[in-house]
A = this chain, B = another copy of it.
Amino acid sequence: MLTISGSAHTLKYWGKRDKDLNLPTNSSISVTLDQSDLRTLTTASCSSKFESDRLWINGTTYSLDTPRSKQVLADLRSLREEVEAKDSSLPKISHFPLHIVSENNFPTAAGLASSAAGFAALISAVANLYKLPTDASELSKIARKGSGSACRSLFGGYVAWEMGELENGEDSKAVLVADKKHWPDMKAAILVVSDMKKDVPSTSGMQLTVHTSDLFQYRITEVVPKRFIEMKDAILKKDFPKFAELTMKDSNSFHSVCLDSYPPIFYLNDTSKRIIKLINLLNESVGETVAAYTFDAGPNAVIYYEQKNEKYVLGLLHHFFNHLDGWSEEKFDSKTSSIPESYPLSALDKDVYSQGVSRIILTQVGEGPTQTDDVLIDLATGLPK
């Protein structure tokens, strides 16, 4: 079985220059999160006795008969054929039908790129089954064709997706900026915001922005390229205040070009805005940048902070959100982690500022795909256990 984690952007992917190949208009960076909190378990098996390629996610059947899925499986089969051609002792399984079983523990509403993780898990599981020698960056190009963000999920730690320049997309791939061990103290608190439904799905939203926002061209040609270099540098230097500033600015910039689209796209709601204010006031109160917010294509917040500043961030969350699902009194030490009385934060109306958040997930930077001995498929029947 293959385990793969969720991730959250620090430098946003928004805009495709080629829709078929999923080639982006800018490079992006994400942090892979811990598998105990957010993970997809996937088992792939193949057999001449199976009738067709099949996929189950959390017990429900999904079609693999889509252009993107077919492309991804064809690419993997072609790599297996190469392996078989080089070593005739290997079983010829590349054309056997595949059964893939996947289970994830992502809260449905969390908007944490669960589909990206799912695609990445499918690819990793089949690559393992096929014993492909291919490295993660090569596999990331296949994952990218399935779902853009999926390419980054093949690495743990801090991951960049280099946009590349080639028309065929061969240089548009994920690379490791730094693994988890390099900067293990990075924590993340996810605040799941209750909302009726997403304003606009990401794929159509991206294209609307690309085609209608005046400010978008400037973002991708001038703002992001500079920020991409600075963000990698901040990660390599473990410079949290710089990492935080770039993360918050890029979240603002991404939501700006959404709002500059015509008609405008809104992913932040009034609850998101209150969370931004809480983080700004926290940093102001402490006198240094100890926390950073970021929002993907939805109202949920990811708050990054370092272990050493946990007391401030957990103090804030305790004050406003300790009634929520996912809040852990164990991780919270009330003797050291409350908001000082003098903070402007303590003067905010708690009833107002605790509104609209439905769940908290406390997690941290995590590992890349991991193989275990467990299997989700009943090998006798080829069906989910």
Contacts and interface: CB of A to CB of B under 8 A. Distances in A.
Interface string A243-278: 001001100110111011111101001100100100
A229 to B, nearest CB: 15
Contacts of A252: 259-262, 264
Interface residues of A, number: 26
Contacts of A280: 263
Contacts of A248: 262-263
A75 B35 CA distance: 70
Given A214-B222, A215-B215, A215-B223, A260 B264 contact: no
A259 B259 contact: yes
Complex copy number for this chain: 2
Interface string A208-223: 0000001100110011
Contact of A253 (B222, B255, B260, B263): B260
A260 B259 CA distance: 10
A227 to B, nearest CB: 9
Nearest to A356: B270
A222 B215 CA distance: 9
Interface of A: 214-215, 218-219, 222-223, 245, 248-249, 252-253, 255-257, 259-264, 266, 269-270, 273, 276, 280
| Shortest Cβ-Cβ A-B pairs, 9 listed | A218-B218, A256-B260, A256-B256, A214-B223, A215-B215, A263-B280, A256-B259, A270-B270, A252-B264
6 contacts: A214-B223, A214-B253, A252-B261, A255-B259, A256-B260, A269-B270
